[in-house]
Structure 1
Amino acid sequence: MSQSKKTIDFGFTEVPLDEKVKRVKGVFDSVAGNYDIMNDVMSMGIHRLWKRHTIELSGVRPGNKVLDLAGGTGDLTKAFAKRVGPQGQVVLADINESMVRVGRDRMINEGLVGNIDYTITNAEALAFPDNSFDLATIAFGLRNVTNKDKALEELYRVLKPGGQLMILEFSKVTSPAFAKLYDFYSFNILPKMGKVIANDEASYQYLAESIRMHPDQETLKQMMLDAGFDKAEYLNMNQGIVALHRGWKY
């Protein structure tokens, strides 16, 4: 982020700080209705395996309280709600009302009521007290946050002592040869798929660009430690297309 110009990246474009939130909102307002279909098409269904592995490593138990930040259409919320049971609670939180509405409707349609709450909140100023959650997750959402350092500090704040943060996010591909193929797919195929399936080429162009602008694995790990986490580590999946970062508050 440029402190002197007060601008920040929106994909490959520099925009004023106060514009990024509005532009990201526009992207997700546009894609909300087709978000699940596009996830399946973009990743050839592999996103479900990434999320499943995240859930398995979470260690969530009955009675736990979980924050699913940038929870969108609720893939993680659904799984966690089943695991925490009636004595637990899952909060699906997102800055985008359209995404929360889609997620809420999906949970209701699948009969998941009673232990799920829905909140519209900014990751940089979470609407929860200190030490509220046993686990916090943010899947494919951190790269869209304007001030990632502030968001990480907020996630640390709302975790209980002994709590864990899990960040599932696109990251830096580890193989140079594969990176070339991945770039071709991201910038030549993905936007066209967005145009055909969602009639929205521009939003998927932004999503591809936002992945490249996101901090790499080691940088994000250090950002987590700088935000206060006592321990941080990451696991690469599919040659670093995605990385699962984990941080603990002791």
Structure 2
Amino acid sequence: MDFSGKDKATYVQETFNAIAGHYDLMNSLMSLGMDKRWRRLAVQQVGAKPGMSILDVCCGTGQFSMELGKTVGSKGKVTGLDFSQKMLDVARQTLAETPDMHWIEFMQGDAMELPFPDNSFDGVTVGWGLRNLPDLRKGIREMARVVKPGGKVVSLDMAKPSFPGFKQVYWLYFEKLIPLMGQIWAKKASAYQYLHDSALEFPAQQELVKIFAECGLENTKYINLAGGVVAIIVGTKPKFY
């Protein structure tokens, strides 16, 4: 993958800063509006309940954090962390326009070095973020570190469909049409070419559950959505970690 002479972290940060204003629109277009349902399913998988404290890593424009906030309620807490200031600006604007969701907080930070003590959260989520990390395993280990024993780490991200015929059509759509849509609506075809390239290089869901286990999580599983185009990956921190 060509990062134009920059390291991956810098390239990703600049890319998401550039598309922040159109990011939610593009997500809806690319997913045909299914992204909202996918986030709700991921909230269920992390086991979010009223009163819980949840960390949303790589929170972007805050859509996942907002969905979590609806579930944990005013007695809970959702912390959304991202290193793109422009994405956080959109998240905070959305939060300001939402009736009383004061239990959601957005902050800038590095997923490689989460600024929280061990065992701080009841659950940790990451939506479309793992493939952007410069060190996948280090990022997962950090999430496992800050979740409480018995708590879950849940990823929602692009996956690799396996059905013959369907997977070829999917990758053709992703390679050709998504960058074109990015150029039309976000004026940034290169950013959406990166989304294709990063999804192509990202481990398949079957491999990702093994990586979750390597990083100290147990009872790992994946749940395919939309025929395996997207997958939820779940791992639980052992009670005696």
TM-score normalised by L of structure 1: 0.91
Gapped runs of 5+ residues in structure 2?
none
- Which of 166, 174, 194 is 1:178 aligned to? 166
Match of 1:27 in 2: 15
Give distance in 2, aligned partners of 1:230 and 1:183. Answer: 31
Displacement of 1:13 in angstroms is 2.7
1:235 matched to 2:223? The reply is: yes
Asked whether the 8 Å contact 2:47–2:152 carries over to 1, the reply is no
Percent sequence identity over aligned pairs: 34
Displacement of 1:69 in angstroms is 0.7
Moved more, 107-116 or 66-75: 107-116
Deviations 1:98-153 (CA, angstroms, capped at 9, x unpaired): 11111111011112442112221111110111000111000101100010100011
- Which of 131, 140, 150 is 1:143 aligned to? 131
Displacement of 1:178 in angstroms is 0.7
Displacement of 1:162 in angstroms is 1.1
Q: Kindly provide the amino acid, as one letter, of the partner of residue 70 in structure 1.
A: C
- Which of 6, 13, 38 is 2:2 aligned to? 13
1:164 matched to 2:152? The reply is: yes
Match of 1:82 in 2: 70
Asked whether the 8 Å contact 2:80–2:107 carries over to 1, the reply is yes
Match of 1:102 in 2: 90
* Secondary structure of residue in 2 paired with 1:161: strand
- Which of 178, 198, 205 is 1:190 aligned to? 178
Give distance in 2, aligned partners of 1:221 and 1:174. Answer: 16
Give distance in 2, aligned partners of 1:220 and 1:109. Answer: 36
* Secondary structure of residue in 1 paired with 2:42: helix
Asked whether the 8 Å contact 1:78–1:112 carries over to 2, the reply is no
1:200 matched to 2:180? The reply is: no
Runs of 4 or more consecutive aligned structure 1 residues displaced over 6 Å after TM superposition: none
Asked whether the 8 Å contact 1:65–1:84 carries over to 2, the reply is yes
Gapped runs of 5+ residues in structure 1?
1-11
TM-score normalised by L of structure 2: 0.95
Displacement of 1:15 in angstroms is 7.2
Asked whether the 8 Å contact 1:62–1:87 carries over to 2, the reply is yes
- Which of 108, 117, 126 is 1:120 aligned to? 108
Give distance in 2, aligned partners of 1:112 and 1:208. Answer: 37
Give distance in 1, aligned partners of 2:104 and 2:76. Answer: 9
- Count of residues paired in the alignment: 238
Give distance in 2, aligned partners of 1:234 and 1:69. Answer: 19
- Which of 200, 218, 237 is 1:249 aligned to? 237
Displacement of 1:58 in angstroms is 3.0
Asked whether the 8 Å contact 2:74–2:101 carries over to 1, the reply is no
Match of 2:205 in 1: 217
* Secondary structure of residue in 1 paired with 2:216: coil
Query: Structure 1 residues 22 and 14 mapped into 2: Cα distance closer, same or farther (>3 Å)?
Result: closer
Displacement of 1:14 in angstroms is 6.7
